[in-house]
Amino acid sequence: MTRTLVVVGHGMVGHRLVETLRDRDEANAWRIVVLGEEPRPAYDRVGLSSYLDGKSAEDLSLTGQDVLDDPMVDLRLNAAVTGVDTGARAVTLDSGESLTYDALVLATGSKPFVPPVPGHQLPGAFVYRTIDDLDAIREAATEGRDGVVIGGGLLGLEAANALRLLGMRPHVVEMAPRLMPLQVDEGGGQVLRGLVEELGLTIHAGAATQSLDGEERVTGVTLADGTVIDTDLVVFSAGVRPRDELAEIAGVARGERGGFLVDDACRTSVEGVWAIGECAAVEGRCYGLVAPGYAMAEGVADQLLELGEGTFPGADMSTKLKLLGVDVASFGDAHGTTEGALEVVYANNAAGTYAKLVLSDDARVLLGGVLVGDASAYAVLRPLVDRELPAPPEQLLLPAGSGVDSGALPDDATVCSCNNVTKGEITCAIAEHGLADVPEVKSCTKAGTSCGSCVPMLKTLLNECGVVTSKALCEHFTQSRAELFEIAQATGIGSFSELIAKHGSGRGCDICKPAVASILASLGNGHILEGEQASLQDTNDRFLANIQRNGTYSVVPRVPGGEITPEKLIVLGEVAKEFGLYTKITGGQRIDLFGARVEQLPEIWKKLVDAGFESGHAYGKALRTVKSCVGNDWCRYGVQDSVSMAIRLELRYRGLRSPHKLKSAVSGCARECAEARGKDFGVIATDKGWNLYVGGNGGFTPRHAELLAADLDDERLIQLIDRFLMFYVRTADRLQRTSAWVESLDGGLEHLKEVVVEDSLGIAEELEAAMQRHVDTYSDEWAGVLSDPGKLSRFVSFVNAPDAPDPTIRFIEERGQIRPGPVSLPMPEIVAPKQEVRS
Amino acid sequence: MNWHQICDIELLLPEYGVPALIGEHPVAVFRTHDDELYAIGNVDPFCGAGVMSRGIVGDRGGEPTVASPMLKQVFSLRTGECLDDPGARLPVFPVRRRETVVEVALP
Ligand code: SRM
Ligand SMILES: Cc1cc2nc3c(=O)[nH]c(=O)nc-3n(C[C@H](O)[C@H](O)[C@H](O)COP(=O)(O)OP(=O)(O)OC[C@H]3O[C@@H](n4cnc5c(N)ncnc54)[C@H](O)[C@@H]3O)c2cc1C
Ligand code: SF4
Ligand code: FES
């Protein structure tokens, strides 16, 4: 019989419980009712600050359509639980409605702690926890004014950055003598302070807040030393308290320092009631991070399904983050509180880096550490905590742990602390499922899918498992596509024969030939059917059309931005009629004409080119379409001219050969009618300009594009897209869409931002120049064929009988148009594959 | 042997294929980098479409090959055998060059 689980709170942890339970509950044993007080389904609170940096509430949402559509999940928003009757097994909502349960899980999270200083309740004082909080802060912020954050911990610094993004001048008031007192030590705190002051923050450390001043609303903040800051906006970020208001009502015991007291299996003192996430005091202790909450949620899901004991294994409170662009990491016993602990400190004030390792009294076991300014060694160091050091301490601090290999790690060492995945689990998965790269490890084990700091270690593990992601393109080239690109670019080699003679072996194949053809085309080696290049092209490129199942081709002229005049529409109709082609509107806002025989292609294209059409590159690993929505010309919501921008982008990047096809779209406002976030590069209008998203994909593995830069003007937008595309063209693998490429980059999106937006590699100018060359030398490929008798001569059905139609091609009719008929020719003999005889 | 003239060698670029019709038989004729000529059936045994001449010519471990443009199975140009699926094979035809003319025979 189906039982009912009621979950109170739809935050990050409550949501993980729903997801896990639905994943593992194959028999549909539980129906889940989720009661959330907030007006929106669960979202990524960890990423909350990015809401002020261009991300929308949608972007942050954790709740997929699969959950919303799941008939076993009843999600109610704006529904606060106000009563619990554990005798009757029922909860009451603020609306008065009452619901019964078989099991109850409390996942109410925390609330920000607001110290009771005079004036704390004045308008103008805020907290920093929900999207609604951020909306209120955004509303109240005034550019150029001072804003005050009370609390210099992790969240306080995030809040300060938020004020900075809103154009304010942030002050941070911290009672302890240094920033982030919980995570970093004195030395690390000093380096951190230096780095954030450079970014324009004013730090008041060792300072107590005396009062918030003002009558009607906040007008200033007075500190205990008499300092007065003139401000009308204050954000409290002085820690959190578990939301345990329901404890008395439900008769559930409280922990000494608050929170629903639970045992190591998250069971409260009342049968049938669990608590998980920040509101749970596991054996008395509350955890303010999301990873321990996730572990609790998964444990409770297992208990409900009787899959295991689901005990909470304890949590790793290590953190690595980038605050205001500054790397900060702390792990293990960061403060050296273990008896006899030794500290090894490396500080470089000039470079703004600080590292401290805490070692056992015999200096052999790593206990913890603090990294500020450069935290690249974190991925290697964190899993080594409580283990014997595999190398001298200073060697461990070399960038990305180049000093050690992961062989030093035992199998039970946690490599991904966000998702609690051990080295052993990862190496097993690699071996068992034949995982070949980081994206595959991510999707199979979940390691690396949250903060990303363990990704370098995933790479090392892949290498060490011997599955060594061979970068060899194929049997003819030991190099990767990116390396061949560099070789071709540096040496100026302009033909496949020369490249394979000098840098490869054998004669090539259907893998390396098109890949090299694409590289040569990206480097601007003339028409793709010129000379030897013709023999490198896959059939689609060879006939500048897409092959269909019966050997005929489809014709897709470019319709930039999807905008087309009635005259041109009529031409397409007339051509289709004349040649008897099947006509269909594509998913890319253009028109596809199917069923053309090879020998008809030039005639068809002659008519199209004469009418002003050009190749749409539907056949190429090249820019396909830039979809547009109608934008502010017509749409009542539009804030920018999305059609003009889409056309401009499509005309700029048409014909650009790339590792895989490229798609784009431009939407005129955040309603996103052009589906730009499903594209390799998507542009969404804002009231200040354009947001640029990259790495989106539909297809096999859908992925939303991520924000690369916000509020760009037209010229900056194009500059960044130029750089992004050329960087991709140069460094991606063969047939690697931008989505997989972004995932495979060391440092992911952050790294991409540094290269593309901040030009950290100093190559931006070169990338832009390469794109400009492409734009300047573009010419229509079909026009190039039509004017060249040599190229035209290859478009025949048979060389010795150019007028005889291919007898294998047959059509039948359906809904008034042609479609390929069933294969009718006697098929050449296929000998049945040898079967092993089993008896 | 009944030899049929196919085309001038100039039309057949190195590492390239052309389709020909001999009687009712669609044939794909290839020229490799070393000027060897090969002729195999033009109809892809996996999909029944006459497309083999449009495949990419190359080698696998030294064996001259063509990959079907449809679903990319690789065939030996010498034996017609499918190297990815040993059950399938294409017919092979005798081919020669007379002066500048390429000729194929039906066995
Ligand atoms: C015609 C069209 C379907 C339609 O009737 O709407 C189509 C047809 C083909 N798609 Fe597509 N795709 C079409 C829109 C899409 C879309 C939607 C879009 O672009 O808005 C997608 C998902 C978006 C994306 O790409 O991220 C899409 C994802 C794919 C994929 C999977 C790509 C991936 O990364 O997973 C393939 C396979 C591939 O490229 O390797 C593919 C491949 C193909 C090929 C080329 C298959 C082939 O090799 O023969 C099809 C032949 C096209 C032809 O003969 O003209 N098609 N295809 C659409 C042409 C759009 C255009 O105007 O250019
Ligand atoms: C700005 C910010 C940055 C952070 N950064 C990090 C980080 O980098 N790493 C990290 O690990 N953690 C971080 N955290 C902490 C992390 O977000 C929390 O640990 C996590 O959200 C806890 O999940 P939860 O489900 O327990 O609580 P929450 O996500 O707070 O969800 C609880 C939900 O329950 C609802 N609720 C409460 N009472 C009731 C009721 N009576 N009836 C119905 N609904 C109710 C609340 O409205 C809320 O929606 C950050 C938090 C913030 C605010
Ligand atoms: S995305 Fe916005 S501007 Fe474009 S059509 Fe939709 S609602 Fe209108
Ligand atoms: S440690 Fe955060 S994703 Fe792995």
Assess whether pLDDT exceeds 70 at residue A833: no
The residue of chain B with its CA nearest to that of A834 is: B87
CB A450 within 8 A of CB A482: no
Q: State if residue A672 touches ligand 3 by the CB under 6 angstroms criterion.
A: yes
Nearest CA to A267 among A307, A292, A300? A300
Atom of ligand 1 nearest to the CA of A616: 63
User: Residue A45: pLDDT band by 50, 70, 90 thresholds?
Assistant: very high
What is the C-alpha to C-alpha distance for residues A17 and A109, in angstroms, rounded to an integer? 13
The mean per-residue pLDDT over the stretch A211-235 comes to 94
Chain A closest-CA separation from residue B15 CA (Å): 6
The mean per-residue pLDDT over the stretch A790-816 comes to 91
What is the C-alpha to C-alpha distance for residues A372 and A374, in angstroms, rounded to an integer? 6
Chain B neighbors of A510, CB-CB under 8 A: 55-56, 58, 67, 72, 74
Q: Which pLDDT value is given to residue A398?
A: 61
A85: tokens are: 């009757």
Mutate to test the pocket of ligand 3, among A563, A632, A635, A679 (most ligand atoms within 8 A of CB): A635
Mean pLDDT of chain A: 90
Chain A neighbors of B61, CB-CB under 8 A: 475, 506
Q: State if residue A187 touches ligand 3 by the CB under 6 angstroms criterion.
A: no
Q: Which pLDDT value is given to residue A686?
A: 95
Assess whether pLDDT exceeds 60 at residue A382: yes
Chain A neighbors of B58, CB-CB under 8 A: 476, 506-510, 512-513
Chain A neighbors of B51, CB-CB under 8 A: 539, 547, 551
Q: Kindly give the pairing relationship between strand A662-667 and strand A623-628.
A: parallel
Q: Kindly give the pairing relationship between strand A3-8 and strand A103-106.
A: parallel
Nearest CA to A769 among A524, A526, A525, A528? A524
Number of Cβ within 10 Å of residue A828's Cβ equals 18
The residue of chain B with its CA nearest to that of A797 is: B19
Give just the sign of the alpha carbon dihedral A320, A322, A326, A327. Answer: positive
User: Residue A406: pLDDT band by 50, 70, 90 thresholds?
Assistant: low
What is the C-alpha to C-alpha distance for residues A622 and A664, in angstroms, rounded to an integer? 11
* Block residue for tokens 């209120």: A136
Chain B neighbors of A807, CB-CB under 8 A: 24, 26, 50
Q: Which pLDDT value is given to residue A710?
A: 94
What is the C-alpha to C-alpha distance for residues A231 and A238, in angstroms, rounded to an integer? 18
Assess whether pLDDT exceeds 90 at residue A786: yes
Mutate to test the pocket of ligand 1, among A546, A613, A672 (most ligand atoms within 8 A of CB): A546
Residue A532 DSSP symbol: G
A325: tokens are: 């662009």
What is the C-alpha to C-alpha distance for residues A519 and A541, in angstroms, rounded to an integer? 14
Q: State if residue A634 touches ligand 3 by the CB under 6 angstroms criterion.
A: no
User: Residue A403: pLDDT band by 50, 70, 90 thresholds?
Assistant: very low
The mean per-residue pLDDT over the stretch A574-578 comes to 97
A550 vs B14, B49, B55: nearest CB: B49
Residue B60 DSSP symbol: E
What is the C-alpha to C-alpha distance for residues A448 and A428, in angstroms, rounded to an integer? 16
Question: Which residues touch A258 (CB under 8 Å, ≥6 apart)?
Answer: A241, A242, A244, A281, A286
Q: Mind listing the pLDDT tens digit for each residue in A650-668?
A: 999 999 999 999 999 999 9
CB contact under 8 A, B55 and A800: no
SS3 A595: strand
Chain B neighbors of A804, CB-CB under 8 A: 21
User: Residue A102: pLDDT band by 50, 70, 90 thresholds?
Assistant: very high
Looking at the structure of chain B, the number of domains it has is 1
What is the C-alpha to C-alpha distance for residues A606 and A783, in angstroms, rounded to an integer? 8
A557: CA distance to ligand 1 center in Å? 15
Q: Is B74 on the interface with A (CB under 8 A)?
A: yes
Chain A closest-CA separation from residue B82 CA (Å): 10
CB contact under 8 A, A506 and B58: yes
CB contact under 8 A, B69 and A549: no
CB A659 within 8 A of CB A517: no
Task: Label residues A574-610 b or e (16+ Cβ within 10 Å = b).
Answer: ebbeebebbbeebebbbbbbbbbbbbbbbebbbebbe
What is the C-alpha to C-alpha distance for residues A548 and A820, in angstroms, rounded to an integer? 9
Task: Label residues A98-133 b or e (16+ Cβ within 10 Å = b).
Answer: ebebebbbbbbbbbbebeebebbebebbbbbbbbeb
Nearest CA to A269 among A281, A284, A253? A253
Q: Which pLDDT value is given to residue A394?
A: 74
Chain A closest-CA separation from residue B30 CA (Å): 11
| Helix (H), strand (E) counts: chain A | 26, 38
For residue A45, report the phi and psi dihedrals to the nearest 5 degrees.
Answer: -65, -30
User: Residue A644: pLDDT band by 50, 70, 90 thresholds?
Assistant: very high
CB contact under 8 A, A833 and B86: yes
What is the C-alpha to C-alpha distance for residues A799 and A544, in angstroms, rounded to an integer? 19
For residue A190, report the phi and psi dihedrals to the nearest 5 degrees.
Answer: -65, -45
What is the C-alpha to C-alpha distance for residues A255 and A232, in angstroms, rounded to an integer? 37
Helix segments in A339-382, DSSP class H: 378-381
CB contact under 8 A, B69 and A538: yes
Highest mean pLDDT among A46-55, A345-354, A577-586 belongs to A577-586
How would you write the pLDDT of chain B (107 residues) with one tens digit per residue?
A: 789 999 999 989 999 999 999 988 999 999 999 999 999 999 999 889 999 999 999 999 999 999 999 988 999 999 999 998 888 899 999 999 999 999 999 87
Q: Is B71 on the interface with A (CB under 8 A)?
A: no
CB contact under 8 A, B49 and A800: no
Q: Which pLDDT value is given to residue A701?
A: 79
A244: CA distance to ligand 4 center in Å? 29
A426: CA distance to ligand 4 center in Å? 13
What is the C-alpha to C-alpha distance for residues A412 and A428, in angstroms, rounded to an integer? 12
A663: tokens are: 């798609």
How many residues belong to chain B?
A: 107
Q: State if residue A190 touches ligand 1 by the CB under 6 angstroms criterion.
A: no
Q: Furthest-apart CA pair in chain B: how many Å?
A: 37
CB contact under 8 A, B50 and A832: no
Please, which residues 8-67 of chain B have a Cβ atom closer than 8 Å to chain A? 11, 13-16, 18-22, 24, 26, 29, 32-33, 41, 43, 45, 47-51, 54-62, 64-65, 67
For residue A356, report the phi and psi dihedrals to the nearest 5 degrees.
Answer: -135, 130
Q: State if residue A638 touches ligand 3 by the CB under 6 angstroms criterion.
A: yes
CB contact under 8 A, B56 and A536: yes
- Share above pLDDT 90 across residues of chain A, in percent, rounded to a whole number: 64
A740: tokens are: 């997989």
Q: Is A116 on the interface with B (CB under 8 A)?
A: no
Q: Which pLDDT value is given to residue A468?
A: 62
Chain A closest-CA separation from residue B98 CA (Å): 16
Atom of ligand 4 nearest to the CA of A418: 2
CATH classification at residue B95: 2.102.10.10
Mutate to test the pocket of ligand 3, among A56, A627, A630, A666 (most ligand atoms within 8 A of CB): A630
Among the residue ranges A645-649, A700-704, A769-773, the one predicted with the least confidence is A700-704
Assess whether pLDDT exceeds 80 at residue A417: no
A407: CA distance to ligand 4 center in Å? 20
What is the C-alpha to C-alpha distance for residues A542 and A785, in angstroms, rounded to an integer? 11
What is the C-alpha to C-alpha distance for residues A703 and A700, in angstroms, rounded to an integer? 10
- Helix A714-731 and helix A748-756, axial crossing angle in degrees, nearest 10: 120
Chain A neighbors of B56, CB-CB under 8 A: 509-510, 513-514, 535-538
User: Residue A320: pLDDT band by 50, 70, 90 thresholds?
Assistant: confident
Assess whether pLDDT exceeds 70 at residue A837: no
For A572, the enclosing helix (H) or strand (E) is: helix A566-579
Chain B interface, best mutation among A539, A542, A825, by max B CB count within 10 A: A539
Nearest CA to A589 among A562, A615, A564? A562
For residue A783, report the phi and psi dihedrals to the nearest 5 degrees.
Answer: -60, -35
B56 vs A513, A804, A807: nearest CB: A513
Q: State if residue A588 touches ligand 1 by the CB under 6 angstroms criterion.
A: yes
* Residue B95 domain boundaries: 2-106
Chain A closest-CA separation from residue B106 CA (Å): 15
SS3 A390: coil
Per DSSP (E only), the strands in A737-821 are 811-814, 817-820
Chain A closest-CA separation from residue B10 CA (Å): 11
The mean per-residue pLDDT over the stretch A238-254 comes to 94
Q: Give, in degrees to the nearest 5, the angle at Cα A662 between A782 and A509.
A: 70
A240: CA distance to ligand 2 center in Å? 10
A652: CA distance to ligand 4 center in Å? 39
Q: Mind listing the pLDDT tens digit for each residue in A715-730?
A: 999 999 999 999 999 9
The mean per-residue pLDDT over the stretch A481-490 comes to 90
Beta bridge partners of B103: B5, B96
What is the C-alpha to C-alpha distance for residues A642 and A638, in angstroms, rounded to an integer? 8
Nearest CA to A192 among A7, A371, A421, A52? A371
Q: Which pLDDT value is given to residue A266?
A: 96
A800 vs B6, B13, B15: nearest CB: B6
- Share above pLDDT 70 across residues of chain A, in percent, rounded to a whole number: 95
Q: Mind listing the pLDDT tens digit for each residue in A498-524?
A: 999 999 999 999 999 999 999 999 998
A313: tokens are: 């294994």
CB contact under 8 A, B90 and A475: no
Residue A257 DSSP symbol: T
Chain B closest-CA separation from residue A597 CA (Å): 11
CB contact under 8 A, A506 and B70: no
